[in-house]
Structure 1
């Protein structure tokens, strides 16, 4: 998570998951089970090394909510640590995420969510505010230098789409 948005009430959950899609699903499930408010940030973080995996982090608005979350997550058998594992998490839960469906302009996306800016892959300039962005109902910005940034790529008709696709084809799927 970005340093500007990290609260002292952040925590990391290590469920031992190896896939982003499963981690996304677990983030949503845990947020629902814990009845977390919509202003919570929930991110995935890739852990490399001898045991590669995806860990989850939550930035919570208060100490009582953090304490309750730790108790409930530990009770569910999860390994929980305080803080976030790094500053470059991939945001799955963030304010406004649920409203980013269908096609909207870059300006609408920025005004409806906690996303700070949109960049276009391979282009140094930011897209114009009126540029259409087809969300594909899957918007996963990442923390970069304390800002929540959505990387997009050009699509047909002058529109943009998020760089991360909702249903990626596994490597070597046709072999």
Structure 2
């Protein structure tokens, strides 16, 4: 796929809202299954979460740019950085429930799974409890899912859908 990429800056300040916006935009724009939608943390004077869309054709890119700009979104060509957190990607909808690492790699655009605290790749038959929330990140041109050990020798994605805010008990 020749990438046609744009950045959307909608002034979103948290990942949950950015995920929701990406899903809404994908539905509104009728994005195909092979499109990618990522979040990017923007630091500096105005911290926020920017979105990037990687689309399969120039005509879809032009249509998306026009419709997003007409909807009041700030749109720019390219991506904000090379380490986006993927929310929309080929096969994302198939990564629900309990899967093996082999399933994850064969059903989606994820090319590698790493485990926190381990230098070794997990075995293909290792079980991943997805929690229906799988957010890989781009690392060196690969879409990589970071997982962590869980009960009974299983794995879970490092990112959980509803994290406890820091200092929530204070």
**TM-score in terms of structure 2 length:** 0.98
Partner of 1:51: 46
Partner of 1:125: 120
Counterpart mapping for 1:15-164 below 5 A: 15-164=10-159
After TM superposition, give the deviation of residue 32 of structure 1 in Å: 0.3
Query: What is the alpha-carbon root mean square deviation over aligned residues?
Result: 0.9
**Contact persistence 1:102–1:137 (CA under 8 A):** yes
**Contact persistence 1:15–1:55 (CA under 8 A):** yes
Q: Where does structure 2 lack aligned partners over 5 or more consecutive residues?
A: none
After TM superposition, give the deviation of residue 109 of structure 1 in Å: 0.6
**Contact persistence 1:6–1:59 (CA under 8 A):** no
After TM superposition, give the deviation of residue 50 of structure 1 in Å: 1.1
**Contact persistence 2:2–2:56 (CA under 8 A):** no
- The number of residue pairs the alignment matches comes to 170
After TM superposition, give the deviation of residue 172 of structure 1 in Å: 2.0
How many angstroms apart in 1 are the aligned matches of 2:31 and 2:102?
27
How many angstroms apart in 2 are the aligned matches of 1:85 and 1:50?
16
How many angstroms apart in 2 are the aligned matches of 1:66 and 1:6?
12
**Contact persistence 2:2–2:57 (CA under 8 A):** no
After TM superposition, give the deviation of residue 6 of structure 1 in Å: 6.9
How many angstroms apart in 2 are the aligned matches of 1:76 and 1:170?
32
